Amino acid sequence: MPTLIAPFGNADWLALAPVLVVAVAPLVVLLADLLVPRALRRTSALALTALALIVAGIVSLQGWGHPFSAFGGGFQAGGFTIVFQEVALLGALLSLPLAGRLGRDDQTGGGLALLLWSTCGALLMAGASNLLTIFLGLELLSLALYCLCALAAAPSAREAALKYLILSSTASGFMLYGMALLFGATGSAQLAALATGSGSHVLLALGSGLFLVGFAFKLSLVPFHVWTPDVYEGAPLPITAFMSVVTKAGALAVLARFAYAALPQADAQALLIPIWVIAALSMIGGNVGALAQTDMKRLLAYSGIAQVGYVVAALAGTTPLGLRYAMFYLVAYAFMNLGAFGIVGLLSRDHEEGSRLTAYAGLGHRRPFAAAAMTFFLLALAGLPPTAGFTGKLLILASSVDAGYGWLAGVLIAGTAISIYVYAKIIYAMYARRTGTAPEAQAARRPEPLRWLGVGICAVAVFVMAFYPLAPSDVLPQVK
Amino acid sequence: MIATLIVVPILAAVLLLLLPRRAEGTAKWIGVAISFLAFFATIGLAGAPDESVRWLQRPFTANFHVGLGHGLSYWIVLLLTLSTGCALMATNVPRRRDFVAQMLFLLGAMAGVFLARDLVLFALFWDLMLIPVFFILLGWGPERSNSAWRYLLYNVTGGVALLLAVAAYGVLEGSTDLIGASLGHGASVVGNGWGLWIFAGFAFAFAIKTPVWPFHTWMPATYVDLPAPAVAVVSAVQSKAGLYGFIAIVLPLLPEQVQAAAGIMFVLGLVALVYGAVVALVQDDAKSIVAYSSLSHLGLIVLGIFSGNALALGGAAVYVIAHGLFSAGLFLAIDQFETREGSRSLKRLGGLGARNPKLAGGLTIVALAALGLPGLCGFAGEILILTGLYASGNVWPAVIALVPIVLAAAYMLRLFQDVMQGPEVADVPQRPDLTLLELLALAPLVVAIVLLGVNPGPVAGSANVQSAVSLVQGTR
């Protein structure tokens, strides 16, 4: 008879340390919001949030090279978890410079607290190896995001939040049903039990199918992507940037762990074929969808669909190298996408976000540095050198060919060819000659060192990663 | 030190943007100086040992490996630096600082393509060299023209196909550090189901870039819309990247697939040869004539490459350089009468030769080289390719290839006659002859045209060129 109060040891809490840092920090942020004078509230909230994320990042890195299982198999510490945690923390940290405009002044503290809790969910998902922990992390991530989406003053924000709430909850429903079936098949909520279980084959197939549908929804893979552009467009800019990296990192962690470690060896490849097909559809559908967009946030939403398709394609065949390249591309994607969002942020004015494509016409003549940086990030997203996008695509292609999924490599190539048009369209608008584009008045702009810092970090990372494709070893997921 | 040929121009391009916008003259001379420095550095570095730094270990070995040798790479880099220097010398395009920066970036990226000894590095520079041309078309091409789009979409599509082919070859072979390496590689790829796909990927990319009919439709618009210095370099050198790829990568690494596909490539080359020449005959725009004549000439080189004959292959190498020299010269000369008369239309122009004897003289030499006059470089390449074709038993292709060579005389002489001879056209303002600077820009190309025509031996390699590899690296 198992006791209800599990005897957790110190090691268990150690595994959870980065998650705990990010879980407790929002309380500090909220308290500080009450104590600090009004003029300093925004600054203090931003500083405390950034500090919490950096501390969590450092704490998380301490565990490198010491994989172990905590909470009776509910949470795995180790390289795999750390990589995804760092990506999530990075995504949250680099979307902060954009958050200068998160809601009204008195909403900043609360908004950032929610952002931290949402990150906390992603950190939990990175290490979750039990169906319940997975669900806990996912809901923590999502619930905070529903509120954050509604933070903007525009009515479209509330619409986005509601849409996100309803569709995401539906997906959660699918997933829960899948989890129930998986539990029914094996009699355990541990992922390890799935891998070794001898349960009913039909239940296992149905359960994993529904489970994957749920995650395809969260990752906004085609054909479960329709909510993404609307939500991205309606949500405030920093939250869109946050979602495009942190949500995807968390969901990809679960997907990768499930694909690599949680399925019986014999059936794994067959059970996973639908997910590779979905990845192929996303690579094409995301890029085709992006063709017609006239709003930068919608365009980046569709481009993100395709980019995640590339990452999932790297996992095809579930080879160890494939996982490493998926991680490499995910990190590269985080940097180039956040960089692009950073430029969108730089173009934002007080009452409008710089997300209409018309705002980019002639940008190369008005603001050469912003245009050059944007061009660089778009080239990276398109997979052209000298960027991490180029090296990342090469590695993914190699891994697909290596794993025997040549057709997926072919689809990736086709998707990339379509995407060239999408990204070059913006570059074209920025640099095409137009008569009568007067240089923007210099005085109208405030200096924005924080946003430029964020953009600069992204640009350097995207450039350096092209030539130092460090793909860490020791990152295979475990489920024990 | 070989790597500086790539890095210095690219760094200089970035640093140029720090100059004040008005420093147009300074920017131009910096560009000219760097191009000619690179030219002499290339001569100095001939035969220098390769340089290599480890890049990837998994999933296959890839290195930052560059090498110059004294073979085809060496000659093409000489052509590249010389034509860039000449093209920039007399240029007067607007916003020259930005333009020179783009041209130097192009110089560095293209040097990378021809110096790379690793397939991944080759693919990287391949994509990189497309970007400045796209920007030049955007910034300096005519407004409301879609040539920038066509250029980018066609060539990047080729580029991603190349990337897949490189990745697949790397996975199957375990290494991509293969350009110019000794033969014997490729055994694992041949016989594999991937072999034909890899060949298709490479051939697709190279055929678009060259361009080979029917992948050429981006080319005339691009050549017409590019400003003169850019089109001189792009037609002289960038179009050779595809042919170089066939010689340096496809021939040595995929010998079986080359044999299987030689027939198709022959047909495509012959169609391009005839089609380009016929279309060139009826063009009114002088730039269009040269653009379509390029399609025709490059088709002949494709025949030479896929003939499987050492003589024809050597001829292809000579013609690669020769076409670069005279097409750069033609485009520069066309620009020189266009800046004088404000037109390139054959119907509109006439009788310029009487007042512009230097310009007429320059155009004569490059046009004669293009139509294959013995003693100039075009003839040296043509005769080697045709002899090789005949010797390897491809009699009919050799006979068919003769027809466009005769047509070349027709369209080149028509170009010269309509512009330089005949009665002067009254409503066209007549301006003075070539300045010293413009003459200096044309002179090195003319000298090189004569030198290569008289002594094509070093480019063609010794008479017993055994393989494409020795052609790339040089045999000395």
Asked if the structure places residue A475 within a domain, the reply is no
Looking only at Cα atoms, what is the longest distance across chain A? 80
Are B171 and A401 a contacting pair at CB < 8 A?
Answer: yes
| pLDDT tens per residue, range A153-184 | 778 888 889 999 999 999 999 999 999 999 98
Residue type, A114: L
The beta-carbon neighbor of A386 closest among B55, B124, B159 is B124
Q: At what angle do helices A248-261 and A201-218 cross, to 10 degrees?
A: 160
Residue A4 lies in a domain: no
Tokens of B93: 């395009």
Contact check, Cβ <8 Å, A397/B135 = no
| pLDDT (tens place) for every residue of chain B, 476 residues total | 899 999 999 999 999 988 887 888 888 899 999 999 999 999 999 888 888 998 888 788 899 999 888 888 899 999 999 999 999 988 888 888 889 999 999 999 999 999 999 999 999 999 999 999 999 998 888 877 788 888 999 999 999 999 999 999 998 888 888 887 755 554 556 667 788 899 999 999 999 999 898 899 999 899 999 998 999 999 999 999 999 999 888 888 888 888 888 889 999 999 999 999 999 999 989 899 999 999 999 999 999 988 888 888 889 999 999 999 999 999 999 988 888 877 888 888 877 777 888 888 889 999 999 988 888 998 989 999 999 888 888 888 888 888 888 899 999 999 888 888 877 776 666 667 778 888 888 899 999 999 998 888 888 874 333 455 555 555 44
Shortest distance, CA B20 to any CA of chain A (angstroms): 13
Provide the residue type at B256 as one letter: E
How far apart are the C-alpha atoms of A402 and B12, rounded to whole Å? 40
| Host domain of residue B392 | 263-286+298-460
Find residue B56's DSSP bridge partners: B62
pLDDT bracket for residue A443 (50, 70, 90): very low
User: Which residue of chain B comes nearest to A413, CA vs CA?
Assistant: B160
B215 touches chain A (CB under 8 A): no
> Which residue carries 């996973």 as its tokens?
A272
From residue B458, alpha-carbon distances to A295, B183, B312, B318, B321 in Å are 57, 22, 15, 9, 12
State percent of chain A over pLDDT 70: 91
Confidence at residue B476, expressed as pLDDT on a 0 to 100 scale: 44
The CA distance from A271 to the nearest CA of chain B, in Å, is: 26
- Is B17 part of a structural domain of the chain? no
> What confidence score (pLDDT) does residue B467 get?
55
Q: Do A397 and B149 touch (CB under 8 A)?
A: no
Q: Is there a domain that residue A295 lies in?
A: yes
CA–CA distances in Å: residue B222 to residues A480, B151, B289: 60, 7, 13
Q: How far apart are CA B165 and CA B123, in angstroms?
A: 10
Is residue B162 a contact partner of residue B126, using CB atoms and an 8 Å limit? Answer: yes
Closest approach of chain B CAs to the CA of A402, in angstroms?
Answer: 6
> Quick one: which of B297, B384, B379, B289 has its CA closest to B330?
B289
Chain A residues with CB under 8 Å of B58 CB are 321, 471
Beta bridge partner(s), residue A125: none
B124: contact with A, CB 8 A cutoff: yes
Q: Does B123 touch chain A (CB under 8 A)?
A: yes
- Could you tell me the two tokens for A411? 């689809």
Residues from chain A that touch B135, judged by Cβ atoms under 8 A, are 431
B238 DSSP 8-state letter: I
Mutation for A interface: B171, B202, B225, most A CBs within 10 A: B171
A137 DSSP 8-state letter = H
B255, part of any domain: no
CA-based diameter of chain B, in Å? 69
Query: What single-letter amino acid sits at B338?
Result: E
- Which of B128, B148, B171 is nearest residue A398 as measured by Cβ atoms? B171
pLDDT at A241: 93
Are A413 and B143 inside 8 Å of each other by CB?
A: no
Per the CB < 8 Å rule, is B170 touching A398? Answer: yes
Gap from B8 CA to chain A (nearest CA, Å): 16
Domain count, chain A: 1
Q: Which of residues 79-98 of A touch B (CB under 8 A)?
A: none
Contact criterion met (CB < 8 Å) for B194 and A406:
yes
A410: which chain B residues are within 8 Å (Cβ-Cβ)? 164
Residue B414 lies in a domain: yes
Average pLDDT over residues A324-346: 93
CB proximity B391 to A under 8 Å: no
DSSP 3-state assignment of A73?
helix
User: What would the DSSP string read from start to end of A74-85?
Assistant: TEEESHHHHHHH
Give which of B170, B156, B24 is closest to A384, Cα–Cα. Answer: B156
Residue A397 to residue B167, Cβ atoms within 8 A: yes
Coil, strand or helix: which one is B67?
coil
Kind of pairing between the strands at A68-70 and A75-77: antiparallel
Q: Output the CA–CA distances (angstroms, integers) from residue B476 to B69, B181, B471, in the order listed.
A: 9, 16, 11
Cβ distance B149 to A390 less than 8 Å, yes or no, reads: no
B16–A contact, CB cutoff 8 A: no
Q: How far is B207 from chain A (nearest CA, A)?
A: 17
Q: Which stretch of DSSP H or E encloses residue B400?
A: helix B395-420
Q: Are B148 and A428 in contact (CB under 8 A)?
A: yes
For residue B425, count CB atoms less than 10 angstroms from its CB and return exposed for 0-12, middle for 13-18, buried for 19 or more.
Answer: middle
Are residues A424 and B194, on separate chains, in Cβ contact within 8 Å? no
- Chain B CB contacts of A431 under 8 Å are 135, 138-139
Identity (one letter) of the amino acid at A380? A
Sort out which chain A residues have CB atoms less than 8 A from B55's CB and list them.
Answer: 467, 469
Using a 10 angstrom Cβ sphere, with 0-12 exposed, 13-18 middle and 19 or more buried, the burial of residue B53 is: exposed
The answer to whether residues A229 and A289 touch, using CB atoms and an 8 Å cutoff, is: yes
CB distance from B273 to chain A under 8 Å?
no
Say whether B167 and A394 touch across the interface (CB within 8 A): yes
How many CB pairs lie under 8 A apart between chains A and B? 90
Mutate to test the interface with B, among A360, A376, A384 (most CBs of B within 10 A): A384
- The reply to whether A417 falls in a domain is yes
Euclidean distance between CA atoms B61 and A326, whole angstroms = 19
- Alpha carbon of B93: minimum distance to chain A alpha carbons (Å): 15
- Report yes or no on A473 lying in a domain: no
Look at residue A350 and tell me whether its pLDDT is greater than 60. Answer: no
In DSSP terms, which residues pair with B408 in a beta bridge? none
B153 vs A420: CB contact, 8 Å cut-off? yes
Number of H helices, E strands in chain B: 22, 2
Looking at the domain assignment, is residue B428 inside a domain?
yes
Residue ranges making up the domain that contains A205: 10-436+448-467
Strand partners, B52: B65
Query: Domain for residue A478, yes or no?
Result: no
**Residue B152 to residue A432: CA distance in whole angstroms:** 14
CB contact under 8 A, A406 and B168: yes
Cα–Cα distance measured from residue A367 to residue B182, given in angstroms and rounded to the nearest whole number: 50
Q: Is the CB of A418 inside 8 Å of chain B's CB atoms?
A: no
The answer to whether the Cβ–Cβ distance between A384 and B131 falls below 8 Å is: yes
B334: its two tokens: 């066309």
Distance from CA of A431 to the nearest CA of B (A): 7
Q: Does A456 touch chain B (CB under 8 A)?
A: no
Asked if A467's CB is within 8 angstroms of B60's CB, the reply is: no
Picking from A344, A340, A324, A315, the residue whose alpha carbon sits closest to that of residue A474 is: A324
List the single residue in B17, B156, B194 with the smallest CB-CB distance to A417: B156
d(CA B124, CA B117): 12
Q: Does residue B436 belong to any structural domain of this protein?
A: yes
CA separation for the pair B133, A301 (Å, rounded)? 29
Residue in the structure block whose two tokens are 């909520």: A189
The sign of the dihedral angle between the CA atoms of A217, A221, A227, A230 is positive
Could you tell me if A378 and A292 are in contact, meaning their C-beta atoms sit under 8 angstroms apart? no
Residues in chain B with CB shorter than 8 Å from the CB of A471 are: 58
Six token digits for residue A384: 């052209």
Give the three-class secondary structure for B175.
strand
Answer whether A433 touches B (CB < 8 Å): yes
Identify residue A211 by its one-letter amino acid code: F
Nearest Cα to Cα of residue B96 among B227, B223, B276, B290: B227
Joined tokens for residue A245: 């990296």
Please give the structure tokens belonging to residue B308.
């499987």
Q: What is the pLDDT of residues A411-437, one digit of tens each?
A: 999 999 999 999 998 998 888 866 545
Identify the residue among B21, B140, B147, B160 best suited for mutation to test binding to A, counting A beta carbons within 10 A and taking the highest.
B160
Rounded CA-CA distance A117/A310 in Å is 28
The yes-or-no verdict on residue A310 having pLDDT over 50 is: yes
> N- to C-terminal Cα distance for chain B?
21
Q: Does residue B297 contact residue B272 with C-beta atoms inside 8 Å?
A: no
Q: pLDDT tens digits for A258-282?
A: 998 888 877 788 888 999 999 999 9
Burial of B264 (0-12, 13-18, 19+ CB in 10 A): exposed
Across the interface, do A398 and B139 touch by the CB < 8 Å criterion? Answer: no
* B372 lies within 8 A of chain A by CB: no
Residue A236 φ/ψ, nearest 5 degrees? -60, 150
Q: Do A385 and B128 touch (CB under 8 A)?
A: yes
Residue whose entry in the numeric block shows the structure tokens 């595994």: A15
- The verdict on A398 touching B (C-beta cutoff 8 Å) is yes
Residues 316-375 of A with CB under 8 A from B: 321, 368
d(C-alpha A124, C-alpha B260), whole Å: 56
B262: contact with A, CB 8 A cutoff = no
* DSSP tag of B423: S
Rounded to whole angstroms, how far apart are CA atoms B344 and B279? 17
Residue of higher predicted confidence among B8 and A442: B8
Contact between B93 and B227 (Cβ < 8 Å)? yes
Closest CA to A401 of B320, B195, B243: B195
CA-wise closest residue to B86 among B333, B433, B367: B333
Residue B169: closest CA among chain A residues belongs to which residue?
A: A398
* Predicted-complex ipTM score: 0.91
